[in-house]
């Protein structure tokens, strides 16, 4: 049963990491609009994207903690 749990945790970890990378790229490309287009994102929206990236990697750490707890 533990083996199934670990597989589930790893799946969640992969999804979280993928979303973290996606959020990072999304924030970078949103910032890029400032250089390429005629409009810049407001500060609040930029902060939201950065917070999103931060949360993604915090969640990855938390899931990693659960996996380690189960293994050790």
Residues contributing to the site for other proteins (CB under 8 A): 5, 8-9, 12-13, 15-16, 19, 22-23, 25-26, 29-30, 32-34, 37-42, 45, 48-49, 52, 55-56, 59, 62-63, 66, 69-70
Gap between the Cα atoms of 11 and 2, Å rounded: 14
Gap between the Cα atoms of 28 and 14, Å rounded: 21
| C-beta closer to other proteins: residue 9 or 72 | 9
- To other proteins, the closest distance from the beta carbon of 3 in angstroms equals 13
Report whether 20 contacts 54 (CB < 8 A): no
């Amino acid at each position: 049963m533990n083996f199934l749990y670990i597989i589930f945790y790893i799946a969640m970890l992969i999804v979280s990491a993928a979303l973290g990378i996606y959020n990072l790229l999304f924030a970078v490309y949103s910032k890029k609009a400032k250089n390429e287009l005629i409009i810049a994102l407001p500060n609040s929206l930029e902060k939201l994207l950065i917070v999103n990236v931060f949360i993604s990697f915090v969640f990855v750490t938390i899931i990693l903690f659960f996996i380690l707890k189960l293994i050790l």
